[in-house]
Amino acid sequence: MDLNDGKTVSYALVPHKGFNLINGIHDPDDVDQIYNLEIRDSDVFAVTYPKSGTIWMQQILLLLEAKGDVTAISKHNTKSNADCIPWIELSGCREAFIAAPSPRWRVTHLQHHFMPAALSQRKGKVIYVARNPKDVLVSYFHFHKVANMLETPKDFDDFFEKFMRGDVFACSWFEHIKTWYSNKDDMNMLFITYEEMVQDLHSAVRKMSLFLGKELTEEQLANVVKHSTFHNMRKIPQANYEQVPGYLLNHHQGKFMRKGTIGDWKNHFTVAQNERFDEVFHREMQDFPLSFIWDIRDIE
Ligand code: A3P
């Protein structure tokens, strides 16, 4: 693939232990060693299936650490928020994690079975952010057009099929949430949804700050919320990946911070696709007591 800034890269999905990694971005041997990482009580992992609000968590965590002071995070942030709170699974990030001073805050899209075993001995903390999978699918479809490391879908129908088969980076949404959710009681885990965050960001941020043991004043908390709204994050280059190089994200194809709402799937799914999705969702999730908000009008 020859990209506009002159770099030539070749990416492909690499199936690895029931999961799809991306060649050139992840190293399977490195990913395997994540399981054995020593975990400190102060370590925090924000876990998401792609397109569920990872960038949002990076912004909120940075702001919580900075007690709402947005100038403090932009001062340290010469690149993007992802440089401050990176994915543990990216090549080279594991070594950096081992050497990093506390607190070590990371994000991950990995399946539960790759993650440090120590998390299941209640070491460190995990925040799992789940998003309704119809909106995940739509957001992921658009992201495939922006992300040069992912194959551009032929059209929405083609991507719909790929997502349903789990033939994408991170594989099946259903497997991801089910395995993490099934193991939640072994871990110090806060389970939260994207929709809860859209509905009442203040309560969601307060919940996170309590969970992380961060003592913020009401004013500081209000500042965290203020600088992590969709509207404000879009104005902060570090918070919306504008500085990510063109060989990774083709910024001409669209913004990473796209719509930030609930229910955009209604503008994409056909009636037949929706019926099929509902049927699969019901079958896959029947033993899980999880319900999602599918339409922004349900919370307005
Ligand atoms: P859309 O494509 O539906 O707009 P991730 O970081 O996991 O890739 O998730 C990206 C999705 O989260 C995008 O969804 C993005 O717009 C949305 N998002 C990021 N920050 C947000 C915010 N502050 N409020 C609402 N949605 C946000």
Alpha-carbon gap, residue 16 to 19, rounded angstroms: 5
Judge whether residue 3 has pLDDT over 60. Answer: no
**Percent of the chain at pLDDT exceeding 90:** 81
Return the domain boundaries, the chain. 13-299
The confidence band for 236, taking pLDDT boundaries of 50, 70 and 90, is: confident
| Helices 201-211 + 54-65 axis angle, to 10 | 60
Q: Which residues of 131-147 are buried (b: 16+ CB within 10 A; e: fewer)?
A: bbbbbbbbbbbbbbebb
Residue 78, pLDDT score: 65
Q: Is 54 in the pocket of ligand 1 (CB under 6 A)?
A: yes
Q: Which CATH superfamily is domain 13-299 in?
A: P-loop containing nucleotide triphosphate hydrolases (3.40.50.300)
| Strands annotated E in 23-110 | 44-48, 105-108
Q: Is 224 in the pocket of ligand 1 (CB under 6 A)?
A: no
Mean pLDDT of the region 101-130: 97
Distance 51 CA to ligand 1 centre (A): 6
Neighbours of 199 (CB within 10 A): 16
The confidence band for 2, taking pLDDT boundaries of 50, 70 and 90, is: very low
Candidate from 56, 63, 197, 228 with most ligand 1 atoms within 8 A of CB, to mutate: 56
Q: Give the residue, by CA position, lying nearest to ligand 1 atom 20.
A: 56
Judge whether residue 9 has pLDDT over 90. Answer: no
Q: Give the residue, by CA position, lying nearest to ligand 1 atom 22.
A: 230
Residue 258 CA: nearest ligand 1 atom is: 4
Residue 13 parent element (H or E): strand 13-16
Q: Is 50 in the pocket of ligand 1 (CB under 6 A)?
A: yes
Residue 58 CA: nearest ligand 1 atom is: 6
> Is 109 part of the annotated catalytic residue set?
yes
Q: Is 80 in the pocket of ligand 1 (CB under 6 A)?
A: no
Q: Is 258 in the pocket of ligand 1 (CB under 6 A)?
A: yes
Which comes out higher in pLDDT, residue 179 or 257?
179
Neighbours of 79 (CB within 10 A): 13
Judge whether residue 7 has pLDDT over 60. Answer: no
Judge whether residue 287 has pLDDT over 80. Answer: yes
Residue 4, pLDDT score: 44
Catalytic residue among 26, 109, 144, 268: 109
pLDDT, tens digit (0-9, with 9 covering 90-100), for 178-220: 999 999 999 999 999 999 999 999 999 999 999 999 999 999 9
Closest listed residue to residue 236, CA positions, set 113, 85, 104, 77: 77
| Strands annotated E in 114-208 | 125-130, 189-193
Residue 48, pLDDT score: 98
Which comes out higher in pLDDT, residue 68 or 300?
68
